[in-house]
């Protein structure tokens, strides 16, 4: 039985034991912790605490649930010299991420044309298999895209400079190397540009239903009743293959006999393999940024037919599954560390140079999508997050019941009808996927957001409610 000590309100610790190099900290309310205890999340975060070069403590956030290798909602920082980088600490869907767009439309504008909007977006933006990419790209151009991210499409006229300026890392991880991405990964991704993918990925038209912080909302250009659009997707087959490829290479090089979970395979940050994985991971992350840029362009194009005077701007774009090198204060001294965020979001406070200039005084925007049909949140990063969680916060509601259980209990058609009754139009590639992503399969987003707000690792700015959902 794992010993869990309460440190203070919403903070728990699993003391160092056995081969753990550091303790693990769980940031959760009492009731959320009870949910987290039900699956293998705690075992998995203890495994993370055993990895070489881990600094201070392994972190499980309130949205934590069982993953593979690292839990989802897991954060860990590693020493750049003695530490490791792990594909299982990033996830297969590299840079699975969220982009928030703001429009000059009001809730009423969309309500009048709700069905038209959802149908147009569903037609234009392919979600999954058999509805592959509508954008043809050559190998050499894809290589350029992998090294330039969102900027690739902006340079082609599919977007504005302000778009990528308002993204984490300005929509491009600079250390990307296309030649570190295998031929197999390229072949899986080349036909998937501009596709949403299935599973928990979605495109949602929302309206701002509540503002919690007027001052910050004003800086971000967000007001009550305004229509926003949220895109949630990742690096598609390309990213999944990059992860698989490097897991194999690392196993061949280092073996896995001593690992409690084969998905915890890793390489020293300073090793050739560690560097190669990082360069390939950055390339996959850039695919995801570019992917969302193309989707953004298509949304602009498509909605212009319905709303000729529409203007759409990027509020922000954040990574969920990523490893990055960042400056953090460790034992009173600022130094570079390698942060793994798996199903977690960066949440830097005011002043950091990584934050877009026009937002720098308020902090970094944090986007937390709810499950299908529930509210999503816009929050702002804090100094407290930098102190407590290496500048990290939650990425979503976090799952509670299993997908197969969700399938048995909730039928897709019923969910669609129920959402319609609540004023939400849905178009999905598969009715089954509706059941799998039903709100009942997730923790309550409001509870999760309350905990991070209470902890101060990000602060509530606005809440958005869905009006139209497009799903894979």
Partner 1 sequence: MKRYKFLEHTADVKFQAFGKTIEDAFKNSAFALKETICDETEIKEKKKKTITIKQKDLESLLYGFLEEILYLLDAENFIISSITKIKIDKKFNLKATILGDKASDYEFTNPVKAVTYNDMFVRTEKEPDRRNPNKKVEFWRTQVVLDV
Check binding of 376 to partner 1 (CB under 8 A). Answer: no
Q: Which is nearer to partner 1, 194 or 472 (CB)?
A: 472
Of 343, 377, 375, 371, nearest to 440 by C-alpha is 371
Residue 42 burial (C-beta neighbours within 10 Å; 0-12, 13-18, 19+): buried
- Binding-site member from 21, 224, 403, 453 for partner 1 (CB under 8 A): 403
Two structure tokens written together for 4? 């869990």
Helix axes 236-254, 272-306, angle to 10 degrees: 170
Q: Sign of the CA dihedral 174, 176, 177, 183?
A: negative
Strands 226-233 and 202-211: antiparallel
Binding flag, residue 396, partner 1 (CB under 8 A): no
Residues 25-54, interacting with partner 1 (CB under 8 A): 38-39
Q: Give 250 or 299: the residue with its C-beta nearer to partner 1.
A: 250
Stretch of 111-119, 150-158, 374-382, 425-433 contacting partner 1, by CB under 8 A:
425-433
Interface with partner 1 (CB under 8 A), residue from 369, 391, 429, 466: 429
d(CA 394, CA 214): 22
Q: Are 342 and 67 in contact (CB under 8 A)?
A: yes
Are 218 and 263 in contact by the 8 Å Cβ rule? The answer is: no
Pairing verdict, β 24-27 and 58-68: parallel
Among 130, 157, 308, 332, binds partner 1 (CB under 8 A): 130
Provide the total of helices (H) and of strands (E) in the chain, helices listed first: 16, 19
Between CA 317 and CA 295 the distance in angstroms is: 13
Residue found by looking up tokens 């659009």 in the block:
229
Candidates 77-85, 222-230, 243-251, 279-287; binding stretch for partner 1 (CB under 8 A): 243-251
User: Does 194 participate in binding partner 1 (rule CB under 8 A)?
Assistant: no
Q: 């509540």: which residue's tokens?
A: 210
- 9 makes contact with partner 1 (CB under 8 A): no
Q: In 76-172, which residue ranges form alpha helices assigned H by DSSP?
A: 107-112, 114-124, 139-148, 150-155, 161-165
DSSP single-letter state for residue 87: G
Nearest distance from C-beta of residue 273 to partner 1, angstroms: 17
- By CB under 8 A, name the one of 168, 169, 386, 436 that touches partner 1: 436
Residues constituting the chain? 472
Token pair in block for residue 438:
């039903």
Q: Which of 112, 55, 427, 123 is nearest to 302 (CA)?
A: 123
149 binds partner 1 (CB under 8 A): no
Which residue, among 435, 212, 208, has the nearest Cα to 315 in the 3D structure? 208
Site string for partner 1, 253-292 (x = CB under 8 A): --------xxx-x---------------------------
Whichever of 275 and 432 has its CB closer to partner 1, that residue is 432
Across the chain, which distance is largest between two alpha carbons, in Å?
64
Q: Is the CB of 72 or the CB of 282 nearer to partner 1? A: 72
**From candidates 171, 274, 349, 472, binder to partner 1 by CB under 8 A:** 472
- Quick one: which of 297, 303, 294 has its CA closest to 105? 303
Which listed range, 139-147, 166-174, 331-339, 422-430, lies at the site for partner 1 (CB under 8 A)?
422-430
**404 binds partner 1 per the rule CB under 8 A:** yes
Return the residues of window 54-73 that contact partner 1 according to CB under 8 A. 65-69, 72
Tell whether residue 127 is a contact of partner 1 (CB under 8 A): yes
Which one is catalytic: 166, 232, 320, 395? 395
3-state secondary structure 301-356: HHHHHHCCCCCEEEEEEEECEEEEEEEEEECCEEEEEEEEEECEEECECCCCCCCC
Name the nearest CA neighbour of 36 among 48, 28, 46.
28
Q: In the complex with partner 1, which residue's Cβ is closer, 115 or 405? A: 405
Q: For partner 1, which stretch binds (CB under 8 A), given 150-158, 294-302, 382-390, 424-432?
A: 424-432
Which residue, 67 or 149, has its beta carbon nearer to partner 1? 67
Question: Collapsing DSSP states into helix, strand and coil, what is residue 393?
Answer: strand
Q: Select the residue interacting with partner 1 from 74, 199, 268, 391 (CB under 8 A).
A: 199
- Please state, in angstroms and rounded to a whole number, the distance separating the CA atoms of residues 132 and 194: 9
Query: Site for partner 1 (CB under 8 A): how many residues?
Result: 54
Residue from 103, 241, 345, 371 that binds partner 1 (CB under 8 A)? 241
Q: Is 139 in the site for partner 1 (CB under 8 A)?
A: no
Residue 67 CB, nearest approach to partner 1 (Å)? 7
Q: Is 395 designated active site?
A: yes
Among 433, 455, 465, 467, binds partner 1 (CB under 8 A): 433
Mask for 221-240, x = binds partner 1 (CB under 8 A): ---------------xx--x
Smallest separation (angstroms) from partner 1 to the CB of 60: 13
> Interface with partner 1 by CB under 8 A: which residues?
38-39, 65-69, 72, 91-93, 127-132, 184, 187-189, 191-192, 197-199, 236-237, 240-241, 243-244, 247-248, 251-252, 261-263, 265, 399-405, 428-430, 432-433, 436, 472
Active site residues: 395
């Amino acid at each position: 039985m794992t010993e869990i000590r309460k440190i203070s309100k919403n903070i728990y610790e699993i003391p160092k034991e056995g081969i753990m190099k550091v303790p693990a900290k769980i940031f959760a309310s009492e009731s959320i912790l009870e949910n987290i205890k039900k699956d293998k999340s705690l075992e998995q975060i203890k495994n993370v605490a055993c990895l070489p070069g881990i600094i201070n403590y392994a972190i499980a956030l309130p949205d934590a649930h069982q993953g593979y290798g690292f839990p989802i909602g897991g954060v860990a920082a590693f020493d750049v010299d003695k530490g490791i980088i792990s594909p299982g600490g990033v996830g297969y869907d590299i840079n699975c991420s969220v982009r928030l767009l703001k429009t000059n439309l009001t809730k009423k504008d969309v309500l009048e044309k709700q069905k038209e909007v959802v149908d147009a977006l569903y037609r234009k933006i392919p979600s999954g298999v058999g509805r592959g990419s509508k954008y043809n790209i050559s190998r050499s151009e894809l290589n350029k895209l992998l090294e330039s991210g969102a900027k690739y499409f902006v340079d082609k006229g599919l977007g504005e400079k302000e778009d990528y300026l308002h993204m984490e890392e300005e929509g491009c991880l600079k250390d990307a190397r296309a030649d570190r991405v295998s031929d197999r990964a390229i072949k899986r991704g080349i036909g998937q540009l501009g596709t949403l993918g299935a599973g928990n990925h979605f495109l949602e038209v929302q309206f701002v239903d509540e503002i919690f912080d007027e001052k910050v909302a004003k800086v971000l250009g967000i007001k009550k009743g305004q229509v926003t659009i949220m895109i949630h997707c990742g690096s598609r087959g390309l990213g999944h293959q990059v992860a698989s490829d490097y897991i194999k290479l690392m196993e061949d090089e280092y073996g896995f006999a001593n690992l409690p979970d084969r998905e915890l395979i890793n390489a020293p940050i300073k090793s050739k393999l560690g560097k190669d994985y990082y360069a390939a991971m950055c390339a996959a992350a850039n695919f995801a940024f570019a992917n969302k840029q193309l989707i953004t362009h298509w949304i602009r194009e498509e909605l212009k037919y319905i709303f000729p005077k529409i203007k759409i701007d990027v509020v922000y774009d954040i990574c969920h599954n990523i490893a990055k090198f960042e400056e953090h204060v460790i034992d009173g001294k600022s130094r570079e560390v390698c942060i793994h965020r798996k199903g977690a979001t960066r949440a830097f406070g005011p002043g950091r140079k990584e934050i877009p200039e026009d937002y720098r005084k308020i902090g970094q925007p944090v986007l937390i999508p709810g499950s299908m049909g529930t509210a999503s949140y816009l929050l702002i990063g804090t100094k407290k997050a930098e102190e407590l969680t290496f500048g990290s916060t939650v990425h979503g509601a976090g799952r509670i019941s299993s997908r197969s259980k969700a399938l048995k209990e909730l039928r897709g058609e019923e969910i669609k009808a129920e959402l319609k009754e609540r004023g939400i139009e849905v178009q999905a590639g598969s009715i089954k996927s509706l059941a799998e992503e039903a709100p009942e399969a997730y923790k309550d987003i409001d509870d999760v957001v309350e905990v991070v707000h209470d902890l101060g690792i990000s602060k509530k700015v606005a809440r958005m409610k869905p009006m139209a959902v497009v799903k894979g």
